[in-house]
A and B are shown apart, each in its own frame.
Chain A
């Protein structure tokens, strides 16, 4: 078959057909993968909630409250066992990471102390900032059981109480920022019981 000549009409029809076929293909792939993508994201979220407020028997991802803070949304998930409230998992964020935004899930007990923290999504440098992930180091352990009222959520360099990750002060600061944002939002939403 000889090469098609470049006339206005042939160029127009070619590009039209190419884009049409592409759009059709993408549309169908999108429809096919929509459900798996949603499930994968939901699963990740549920696993994070499971880690930070263990032992619930309701569906915290069904019981969600949105709180607007600093230009983005925080999500509160209430974890219950029977009638008793076990705590609140807060999906929080920071824009101060070494590679931009990252998201954490912070579990608070009803009195406002931190149960545990998990990283949901981040783009920090592998080998450095990604040590904030639970699987890579014990960075999160120092937060467990602490109450932000008497535990200064800042790295020691900034006169806080948090031991920063070696060579990842920026990541550690951002981590504290995210946790602090979660606590502040929780407090202002008056989900913390006064003692």
Chain B
């Protein structure tokens, strides 16, 4: 399999957020600013790469009927590792993402890749797939966060560009849906152009 294709599919062609519509709960919840989106995306990427790696390593040792619980335990373990490490070493980021870190466990992207890809492919391609999907997810979250931050609070990565308030709607939940909807349109346009 062409590893570059395998890696790059996560960005546009099979982007978890814009095309597969997976993991929308954290997507809509944390992206009130670009930095939150980036942090959440990177945390998910780490979990995705590690769980893909382990799942593809043990795929032949796990009987089919218990594969889902086994995968979930593996994923939950890595999520808890991320949570503890973040709490200890980057408490600022943990404060911002707090609630959503444990939710990575039930992020469909992670289990989806374990089930659909890692349990059927080699270790190396699973690793590449995890990194590609994770970084694609990170990109989607960062873009969405940046758009909402620019429109909603007039800032970019925390740097104020205008004084006072902007369109507050965009940092509230309805703004998340609006911004995501338009970004999906944009992503689909790019997807059609490239293919």
Contacts and interface: CB of A to CB of B under 8 A. Distances in A.
Decide if A and B are genuine partners.
Answer: yes
Interface of A: 1-7, 10-11, 14-15, 18-19, 22, 25-26, 29-30, 33, 35-37, 40-41, 44, 121, 123, 125-128, 166-167
Contacts of B61: 1, 4, 14
Looking at chain B, what size class is its interface with the partner chain?
A: 35 or more
A131 B88 CA distance: 26
B25 interface: no
**Interface SS majority for chain A:** helix
16 contacts: A2-B60, A4-B63, A5-B63, A22-B73, A33-B84, A37-B84, A40-B87, A41-B91, A44-B91, A123-B98, A125-B32, A125-B171, A126-B32, A126-B171, A127-B152, A127-B165
Interface of B: 32-33, 36, 58, 60-66, 69-70, 73-74, 76-77, 80-81, 84-85, 87-89, 91, 95-96, 98-99, 149, 152-153, 165, 168, 171-172
A6 B149 CA distance: 50
Nearest to A126: B32
A3 B64 contact: yes
A76 B149 CA distance: 38
A138 B104 CA distance: 35
B47 to A, nearest CB: 14
A122 B70 CA distance: 35
Contacts of A5: 63
Contacts of B172: 125, 128
B70 A29 contact: no
